[in-house]
Amino acid sequence: MPKRILNYVITSLMVMSLLLLAACGGGGSGTSGSKTKDTIYLGTVNPPGGFNPINTGDIGGQFAIRVMLDAFLDMTSPLKFQPKLATSIDTSDNQTYTIKLNPKAKWTDGKPVTADDVVFTFNLIANPKTEVAVGSNISTLTGLDDNGKLTGGAKMIPNLKKIDEHTVSFKTKKPVDPNYIKEMIGSKIITMPQHVLKDIAPEDFSKSKYVQAPNVTNGPYKFVTYNKNAYIQYKANNDYYLGKPKTPKFFIKIMQAPNLLSELQSGSIQANTSGGIGNLPFQDVETAKKLKNVTTEIHPQIGFQTMQYNTKTLPNAKVRQALAYAIDRQQIVDKLLKGNGEIVDGPYTSQSPYLDKSTNVIKYDPKKAKQMLKDAGWDFNKTLNFVVPIGNKVREQSADIIVQNFKAIGVKVKETTYDFPTIMQKGKAGDFDLLLIGFTFNLDPDVSALYGPNGAYNFMKYNNPEAVKLIAQGKEEPDSAKRKTIYSNLQKIWEKDMPVITLYSDHEVVVKSKDLAYGGASAYWPGTVANFQKWAYKK
């Protein structure tokens, strides 16, 4: 074949390929590669750890679940709650609470969402044989222990009652702050379909087909497929009780953080997830601000990044403190975050009204760190197993700084990296000495999921009886002023015991396409999930 004809054929094939890609919505619907506006692509960094509504511990997985399954309420700004699956959660005495379900709510198979589904879900969580990550959220209820589990062989939560088809009531052991209930139960507990799941044994639920691909849901979008580490595909639930979604298709695209900027610039994604699971690298922020097709905003947040210590392999609190003094956290904030972040000690950022500013922030002091290690009898021939998740570029780079900091004081470290699902497995197995992991908990100060002896994220295996007692008191205290005193005392204990060090709280970087009329991450990030059905392009 003559060269000129061959070139013509190749060019024609390339054009045809591009046309086919455009027809399929490749490259991003509505902004590039497609003339239609039927698909929104949301860029994220962390792949989901799973789709189990009651046992998905990672934020990426929890976010992916909220696209297709609703909570009772959404918190759109601090302590401001918007009705969702429930029209209200009320109490007259701060101890007996009533959930009123939206009577229009129904499952994607057409059956109504009822009080039976709520009672079923609560009891499944409370069953000692069920693996859960949300047990502590319901642990204030009567008949449950600190892990939210039934005791003494009980089968059902006492005082959990179906009042009618759309009303459920429950009782707490003692009066509880209503905002605690609205946040920890109202915005965190995901109701599941009893008629679909009732025959699955509690001990088998975490391995069921439903948690791999939820096929009966009640949210704005239906699950279609998950291409591991590539994307999650959804389609509109046209019978959604809060209104038909304005955009027929929804994708969460999973990528490395450095790729977010180019994908936003090309229109291959219309927004980033932010929230610690999809932040734009800070070195790309100034470039993003100059792009004509997106808006870029920066907001402080309640999330934070940590380094957990395995207290079984590092049992000496003085050693853990010494390693904390060796870390130059200010360098991380200045160099990696470009100043867009803050250093805090403990689980409360400047956004939390419960932050005790009187606690001493650990200052970078390598000389003190080395001397403390010597005083503690540290074996400088020991090599620490340092486990780091991939995906969040700043976190990966912070690990490099930490390794250099430790090297400077003579501490040997072996750094290994894994995807996030593997990180969760290694954390639960205690297969680490040091582990980097980030959290976005709640505005409510209860962080028993991290510091409680059986907390879902207590990979440190930390257990201080005094702290356990105060954690229980903090949960049960209805008076906010008294709660603040309790959590101030806890912060002092945690600072002394140092089972985990907060490295930094990086500010949220929220980038959205100007083609969107509504959508993208919210300034108060937990509120992002409130109105997925309204996300849409400009007409």
**In the chain, where are the structural domains located?**
3-49+219-299+508-537, 69-209, 304-506
Candidates 414, 441, 433, 436; CA nearest to 423 is: 436
Q: Residues 58-88: pLDDT tens digits?
A: 899 999 999 999 999 999 988 899 999 999 9
Q: What is the pLDDT of residue 19?
A: 31
Q: Measured between alpha carbons, how far is residue 398 from residues 167, 393, 394 in Å?
A: 49, 8, 6
Backbone phi, psi, residue 427, to 5°: -60, -50
Contact between residue 190 and residue 65 where contact means Cβ atoms under 8 Å apart: yes
Helix (H) or strand (E) holding 322: helix 317-325
Candidates 477, 483, 449, 451; CA nearest to 465 is: 451
Contact between residue 159 and residue 171 where contact means Cβ atoms under 8 Å apart: yes
Q: Residues 229-245: pLDDT tens digits?
A: 999 999 999 999 999 99
Q: What is the mean pLDDT of the chain?
A: 91
Q: Residues 475-511: pLDDT tens digits?
A: 888 888 899 999 999 999 999 999 999 999 989 999 9
Joined tokens for residue 242? 């809060």
Q: What is the pLDDT of residue 5?
A: 38
Q: Residues 443-476: pLDDT tens digits?
A: 889 999 899 998 989 999 999 999 999 998 998 8
Confidence label for 36 from pLDDT (cuts 50, 70 and 90): low
Q: What is the pLDDT of residue 12?
A: 38
Joined tokens for residue 332? 């991380």
> In CATH terms, are 3-49+219-299+508-537 and 304-506 the same topology?
no
304-506 CATH fold: Dipeptide-binding Protein; domain 3 (3.10.105)
Distance CA 286, CA 366 (A): 33
3-49+219-299+508-537 CATH fold: D-Maltodextrin-Binding Protein; domain 2 (3.40.190)
Would you say residue 158 has pLDDT above 50? yes
Distance CA 512, CA 506 (A): 19
Say which CATH class 69-209 falls into. Answer: alpha beta
Q: Is this structure's pTM higher than 0.85?
A: no
Q: Region 3-28: what's the mean pLDDT?
A: 35
As beta bridge partners, residue 509 has: 298
